[in-house]
A and B are shown apart, each in its own frame.
Chain A
Amino acid sequence: MSILTFRGGIHPYEGKELSKDSPIKEYIPKGEVAISMSQHIGAPAKPVVKKGDSVLVGQLIGEAAGFISANVHSSVSGKVKAVEKRFIVNGGKAECVIIENDGNFEEVTYEQPTSCENLTREEIIGLVKAAGVVGMGGAGFPTNVKLSPKNVDDIDYIIVNGSECEPYLTSDYRRMIENPELLIGGLKIMLRLFDKAKGIIAVEDNKPDAIARLKECLAGEDNIEVKKLYTKYPQGAERMLIYAVTGRKINSSKLPADAGCIVDNVDTVFAIYHAVSYGKPLIKRVITVTGDAVANPQNFLVPVGTNHSELIEAAGGFVSEPSKIISGGPMMGMAISSLDVPVTKTSSSLLCYTRDPLVDISQTNCINCGRCVKVCPGRVLPSRLAKFSARGDMESFLKYDGLECCECGCCSYICPAKINLTQAIKTMRKKALAARKK
């Protein structure tokens, strides 16, 4: 089997050994849960419960408010304590439904589809939508929208993104080796939506046991294939993944569907499986709690809304005082100023460093060495774009294809002058995209 990849990219310290051998453990939240109404890209969901209401596990508490939006369900049973703004992972505040967990985990009776085999396309997508499934790799794009491209008949590949190229993360890996049959089940449901599509599960070659396990389960299947990817960051970036797997290239203004592909993350495919087979909403996800500051790094299946500080306790607490905690991986994750924020559908990891890797680093002048250009998977000129950003020169920024940046962070990582290139480019991209919307 050939090993597929793209041009550019980096090889940061992987850190996966810390948690890769710990099986997924279900975590039962103790205290209240705070379920955010904006766990996805697009319009925040509209709360449909109020203070004092009793809710059950799986009950709808937030309704999708628009085309790009998603339903939100309760992950515990108990009483709604408040509907108020709370701090979330990105440092801002969002409307949250606060539920006092009664510890009984009484579930609603799910309307189980009679026979999964007989569902129509619309019914499948309807179930995915009702279950509030969103892209769990980080972006949180509503999955039902992704599954309804304009060019349904042109979809050739459904790609399950099992590359997990972000260092330290092992949640997708555990999913793949513990329940490969469910992953394949989810993929088969997706394949039923597209007549001529082939299924591909793409996995980086640092997870040989996952590749072997999936292949074993796929014996005799001729419409689904496991593809081995070269271990390199950002192999899991959507456009890089599509290129590695199919050889098709799309620029940032196109959708994967334009290249005849639908790409979904491993945990998302699990969510699709549960939504369509059992009518179960997305209320739990796998999170890797890791880093040198954590006593027992491991993987948890966590109800959405659980407070991050509970996860640290569950992982044995801190062995040393952390100075930096990141929600997500070290490359694209978000540093959080406090643990007192709830888990969302897109929280993939909680990474705790005893020593902030950036404290000792001081910035010097750009020496034009070109390392950022060499590693950039988008093949733009990061050092130039960062200069345009610093100067506020949006015209040049656009001319030099600044919008083609996927914000993967490779340029900042590799820069010997330790310039925050990604940050500068992100700042200008945000401005440029905002200006374009006007």
Chain B
Amino acid sequence: MAELLNVSSNPHVRDNKTTGRIMCDVIIALIPASVFGIYHFGVRALLIILVTIASCVISETVYDKLMKKKLTIGDLSAVVTGLLLALNLPVEIPVWIAVLGGIFAIIVVKMIFGGLGQNFMNPALGARCFLLLSFTGQMTRFTLDGITTATPLYNIKNGADYHVLKMFLGTTAGTIGETSTLAILVGALYLLVMRIIDLRIPLCYIGTFTLFAMIYSACHGGLDFTYLAGQLCGGGLMLGAWFMATDYVTSPITPGGRILYGVCLGLLTGCFRILATATAAPEGVSYAIIFCNLLVPLIEKITIPKSFGKEAKKK
């Protein structure tokens, strides 16, 4: 033992959970929704998923290479972004639009702000909103078995028929990964069991939105539980609340902030979905989330927890 031993600052041990492992768990949790999407919409859904993931991973690789940075795709976050974006696209979307979405998500929303952890907006949702504005037609054309079909949410908004059980199971029109509430909840349960997410954001989000819808429904001809169930299972609410609002990077770090963030999301989604008069696109989840992403620094600022032993003093 002639040489000196290694030294480092304490602690000298680390937990075995890494960023890559967490991302891997998120991917596992998205499998039920993805598999259901492929089963429901056909093999083209698989194509869109693979193409979008590839687009994201390649974009990140190229960016890292061009900027002469350490390759960061090992953390799997690009795969998560690609998968989430694909699940937010309609199955008939032209492949080139899906590719463009992946590039936008990674390069514009994430990498130019400094890569993972530095982006202030959820990359997948940023890209989805970009595509919605740029290619509204392609992004809002939903098909089922090759036939253009209205989404249940559109039907709710416009007074047409909708079937709550079908919405829960997911055999309706919509984006690849949003239709099946059941599949999403199975994945969400996995995230909860693996302690990847806590209940604060999704529960406050869904709870506030439910309250909003209840009040609205009560004011418009009495409380209608079918309407309520339809609102909960319809559109991107479940996918958004469990998988995108809970994105670490773009949600508050403070426990209190997560509650407030969830409440803000619920209120905004209610406004966009229910109060807004635009009948063509009754979806509000994506916009609500990316808008609230921008509020995160402010929310964190007002929800700094009281440190141990200082609670009573400040009361």
Q: Which A residues are closer than 8 A to B by beta carbons?
A: 10, 12-13, 91, 167, 239, 243, 249-252, 254, 321-326, 330-339, 353, 356-359, 361, 364-370, 373-374, 377-381, 383-384, 400-401, 404, 407, 409-410, 412-418, 420, 422-423, 426
Contact = CB atoms under 8 A, between A and B. Distances in A.
B255 interface: yes
B10 A370 contact: no
Given A321-B1, A358-B14, A413-B14, A420 B9 contact: yes
B4 A367 contact: no
Across the A-B interface, the 5 shortest Cβ-Cβ residue pairs? A251-B309, A409-B11, A365-B117, A423-B9, A335-B7
A359 B7 CA distance: 11
Contacts of A335: 5-8, 10, 12
B304 interface: yes
B156 interface: no
Contact of A373 (B8, B75, B77, B253): B253
Contacts of B65: none
A383 B248 CA distance: 13
B310 A338 contact: no
Most buried by A among B11, B12, B311: B11
Most buried by A among B13, B19, B115, B304: B13
B10 to A, nearest CB: 5
A364 B72 CA distance: 9
Interface of B: 1, 4-15, 17-19, 21-22, 72, 75, 77, 114-118, 248-251, 253-255, 258, 304-313
A367 B19 contact: yes
A422 B9 CA distance: 8
A404 to B, nearest CB: 4
Given A249-B309, A381-B304, 20 more contacts: A91-B7, A239-B309, A251-B310, A322-B5, A324-B12, A330-B11, A330-B12, A330-B13, A333-B12, A334-B10, A335-B8, A335-B12, A337-B4, A358-B12, A364-B72, A367-B117, A368-B251, A369-B248, A401-B310, A413-B15
B11 A331 contact: yes
Contacts of B313: 251
Nearest to B115: A365
Contacts of B115: 365
A368 B248 contact: yes
A384 B253 contact: yes
B11 A332 contact: yes
A243 to B, nearest CB: 8
A400 B304 contact: yes
B43 to A, nearest CB: 34
